[in-house]
Amino acid sequence: MHRFGIELASTLQAGDLIVLTGPLGAGKTTLTRGLGEGLHVRGAVTSPTFVLARTHPSLVAGAPFVHVDAYRLSSAMELDDLDIDFAHSIVAVEWGRGLLDGITESWLDIEIERPQGRSAGMPAADAAASVLDLDHDLDEPRTLTLTGHGPRWARLAESLPTEPA
């Protein structure tokens, strides 16, 4: 997921919005860390769960990278209240599906699926630990579904990486 984020970053520019959807442990934050590395931003890209959004300035005169955790948001109005400069930033929104109404007409939706069978039948404590560790388990493949919305993503569909590295 991390390497896929690095590769995807090479196609991004100011104004781009990425929406990441998937269950806990699917790799949304890992992919976002790869985006940050590929965009050469300042600071460690970590989950902004408690601050909702974190801006990382570029170290190479590029657009700032904004990482949003929309898990606790319930509407496009709440996302808009974060006052993110979508036009001049590259924005990745975890848990953002359905929150873009009226905010933008162009975004890349990435749905991440992970195998579900490994924690089946485990005691609850072990299953919870397994979910937390999935981002770091290199043996579990992920399936990504990329859906572009708007003219920019229709043009770029041919050049995007097609599977996680």
Q: Which residues contact 134 (CB under 8 A, 6 or more apart)?
A: 25, 26, 27, 114, 140
107-113 vs 17-21, strand pairing mode:
parallel
Sheet hosting strand 107-113, strand order edge to edge: 53-56, 65-69, 90-94, 17-21, 107-113, 143-149
pLDDT at 47: 83
pLDDT at 80: 87
pLDDT at 69: 92
Residue range 2-156, CATH number: 3.40.50
pLDDT at 127: 40
Residue for token pair 């939706």 = 109
Q: Collapsing DSSP states into helix, strand and coil, what is residue 15? A: coil
pLDDT at 28: 95
pLDDT at 135: 45
pLDDT per residue rounded down to tens, the chain (165 residues): 999 999 999 999 999 999 999 999 899 999 999 999 999 999 999 887 778 999 999 999 999 999 999 988 888 889 888 999 999 999 999 999 988 877 888 999 999 998 875 444 444 444 444 344 444 445 688 999 999 999 888 776 666 666 655
* Tokens at 21, concatenated: 């959807």
